[in-house]
Amino acid sequence: MDTKPLIAITGASSGIGEAVARAFSDAGHPLLLMARRLDRLEALALPRAVLRQVDVRDRAALASAVSDAEAQHGPVDLMFANAGIARLGDIASQPPEEWDEMIDINTKGVMNSVHAVLNGMIGRRQGTLVMMSSIAGRKVYPDHTVYCGTKFFVHAVSESLRGYLAPHNVRVVVVSPGIVDTEVLDHVNDPRTLENYRTNKAAIGGGISADIVAGLILDAYALPQRAIVQEIVVTPTQQTY
């Protein structure tokens, strides 16, 4: 019998998603871990974790994964809509297919994640949605044009959802980190953008650990349900942009 509620995480195979999975596992929660790379989920070897190979663009696959996990561990009490991709680059030369990928994963994927648990949380008058945004959802950068657009979307949707869900006792928390040590650069195909990012990162002494972000999410969740941290903004101390 589980004594703590089920935590669902998309994009759980690396970076902040992986760190959040480890943090909540260490805190005694059963997990639903979803990602496109099932082998990476299996390598985490976390106890009481339901693992599903899910592309967040597939609404039916998300819903099925949630249903399977809830049958084993009870209702999802937190959905971390974390899966995302950063195809940074010069907007004039960037292939539009990269725009499509970011829009589909970073906006539609987030909404699919919300949809999979929303009505259950409303019905139970209990739950927390954690929405992965970025400092790029609060500021704009020349080589982040479409990426910034997707993260501003997350901010707008989260604010609207927060107002809608407050009477139902459901919380919406936005996470807006600055530079974090993750695999984000693996998806950048523009050499100049990649070089600029690495130079800027080095100039501030590097990014912060994903574990720092995970700890803040865990702390926000641990508050009584009647209290909410509306947004977590965390950056390296020297990051002023």
For residue 186, what pLDDT band results from cuts at 50, 70 and 90?
confident
Distance of CA 156 to the CA centre of its chain: 15
- Predicted TM-score (pTM) of the model is 0.96
Cα 161 to its chain centre, rounded Å, is 16
List the chain domain ranges. Answer: 6-234
Task: List phi, psi (to 5°) of 24.
Answer: -75, -30
Residue-level pLDDT at 185: 81
Structural domain 6-234, CATH architecture: 3-Layer(aba) Sandwich (3.40)
The three state secondary structure string of the chain is CCCCCEEEEECCCCHHHHHHHHHHHHCCCCEEEEECCHHHHHHHCCCCEEEEECCCCCHHHHHHHHHHHHHHHCCEEEEEECCCCCCCCCCCCCCHHHHHHHHHHHHHHHHHHHHHHHHHHHHHCCCEEEEECCHHHCCCCHHHHHHHHHHHHHHHHHHHHHHHHHHHCCEEEEEEECCECCCHHHHCCCHHHHHHHHHHHHHCCCCECHHHHHHHHHHHHHCCCCCCCCEEEECCCCCCC
Q: Average of pLDDT values for 116-121?
A: 99
How do residues 39-80 score in pLDDT, each as one tens digit? Answer: 999 999 999 999 999 999 999 999 999 999 999 999 999 999
Confidence of residue 228 (pLDDT cuts 50, 70, 90): very high
Q: What pLDDT is recorded for position 97?
A: 97
Q: Is the pLDDT of residue 116 over 70?
A: yes
**Residues marked as catalytic:** 147
pLDDT, tens digit (0-9, with 9 covering 90-100), for 189-205: 999 999 999 999 999 99
State the pLDDT at residue 2. Answer: 81
